[in-house]
């Protein structure tokens, strides 16, 4: 089939690579979000998908909105049979969805209908799920509600951050998306409607959502930190300033600390929660680089009874 691939961040690049490597399909063009300011200089930078497409010598389309007439005209000129999508980042209007004969097929990083929305991997970790995966589905105008072509499953490991898990799913999902294109092309794959039961939503996780509540149980704190790493970054406050929490681990043997209370030894830093404590492993103070929690604690000279979170 002739394909137009739509995607933006680094997590979409493995899927693009898988389709570029396919001998059965031609990636005629890539659709991605416009260049965005990045870094200290806030200079405009192309998306990772755009950079990969340019390396491969593929036409790159960067519409401000997918309903832009110039974009729709060019899409019709290319005449794709199907448009595979991975984390494109913009809603596709009906007029765009109708262009390819086989529609737009999205790779979504959950086992639909679970965790529909922008942050499925983060929510799966924060909810304590043990299994997740990726799904390919035909895009409709509803939120991740279209019929499903295929799935792959992935275990959520006890120390997984959302970054760890998303990286594994990006590569597993790339193979799934390529196989889905093969099945659509040869007519062996049919999309199956999602069940009405088991729907859950995964809206974008913002900075305020990542504020740690020390009255929550230790397992909840651990899941929040892992789910919010690397972005938006779990955080608390210490002496009125934000402290980013990069890595913690449950410490069930420490039940002597009140929620938020800090106990700092030579090599360990513990913080009380609503159940037992967690050990802080890596933190990042405001304006500083990431560091081991024990080094941070020695530097700030924690006094007895001090707390995180005010």
Residues 271-305 have pLDDT tens digits of 999 999 999 999 999 999 999 999 999 999 999 88
pLDDT of residue 304: 87
For the chain, give the percent of residues with pLDDT over 70: 100
Range 229-258 average pLDDT: 97
> Quick one: tokens of 85?
């999508």
Is the per-residue pLDDT at 6 higher than 90?
yes
Is the per-residue pLDDT at 310 higher than 80?
no
In the chain, ranges of CATH 3.40.50.170 domains:
2-202
Range 170-194 average pLDDT: 98
In the chain, ranges of CATH 3.10.25.10 domains:
207-300
Residues 109-157 have pLDDT tens digits of 999 999 999 999 999 999 999 999 999 999 998 899 999 999 999 999 9
pLDDT of residue 213: 98
Average pLDDT of the chain is 97
| Residue 112 annotated as lining a ligand binding site | yes
Answer CATH for 207-300 from 3.30.70.3420, 3.40.50.1100, 3.10.25.10, 3.20.20.80: 3.10.25.10
Rounded to whole angstroms, the Cα distance separating 195 from 215 reads 36
Q: Which of 141, 124, 142 is nearest to 133 (CA)?
A: 124
| Residue 113 annotated as lining a ligand binding site | yes
Q: Report how far apart, in Å, the C-alpha atoms of 260 and of each of 22, 31, 147, 291 are.
A: 53, 46, 45, 20
Answer CATH for 2-202 from 3.40.50.170, 3.40.50.2300, 2.30.110.10, 3.30.70.260: 3.40.50.170
Is the per-residue pLDDT at 167 higher than 90?
yes
Range 168-178 average pLDDT: 98
For the chain, give the percent of residues with pLDDT over 90: 95
Which pLDDT band, with edges at 50, 70 and 90, does 70 fall under?
very high
pLDDT of residue 148: 98
């Amino acid at each position: 089939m002739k394909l137009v691939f739509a995607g933006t961040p680094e997590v979409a690049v493995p899927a693009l690579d898988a389709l570029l490597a396919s001998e059965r399909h031609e990636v005629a063009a890539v659709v991605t979000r416009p260049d965005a300011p990045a870094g200290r200089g806030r200079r405009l930078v192309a998306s990772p998908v755009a950079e990969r497409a340019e390396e491969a010598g593929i036409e790159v389309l960067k519409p401000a909105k997918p309903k832009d007439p110039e974009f729709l005209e060019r899409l019709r000129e290319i005449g794709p049979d199907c448009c595979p999508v991975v984390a494109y980042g913009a809603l596709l209007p009906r007029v765009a969805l109708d262009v390819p004969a086989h529609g737009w097929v999205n790779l979504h990083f959950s086992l639909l209908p679970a965790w529909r929305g922008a942050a499925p991997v983060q929510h799966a970790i924060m909810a304590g799920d043990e299994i997740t995966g990726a799904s390919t589905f035909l895009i409709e105008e509803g939120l991740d509600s279209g019929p499903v072509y295929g799935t792959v499953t992935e275990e959520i490991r006890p120390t997984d951050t959302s970054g760890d898990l998303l990286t594994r799913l990006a590569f597993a999902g790339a193979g799934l998306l390529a196989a889905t294109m093969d099945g659509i092309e040869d007519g062996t794959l049919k999309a199956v409607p999602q069940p009405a039961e088991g729907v859950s939503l995964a809206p974008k996780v913002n900075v305020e959502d990542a504020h740690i509540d020390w009255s929550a149980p230790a397992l909840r704190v651990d899941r929040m930190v892992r789910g919010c790493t690397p972005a938006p970054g779990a955080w608390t406050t210490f002496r009125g300033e934000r402290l980013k929490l990069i890595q913690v681990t449950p410490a069930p043997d420490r039940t002597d600390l009140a929620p938020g209370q800090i106990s700092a030894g030579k090599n360990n830093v513990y913080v009380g929660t609503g159940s037992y404590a967690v050990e802080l492993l890596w933190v990042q103070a405001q304006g500083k680089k990431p560091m081991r929690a024990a080094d941070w604690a020695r530097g700030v000279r924690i006094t007895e009874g001090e707390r995180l979170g005010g």
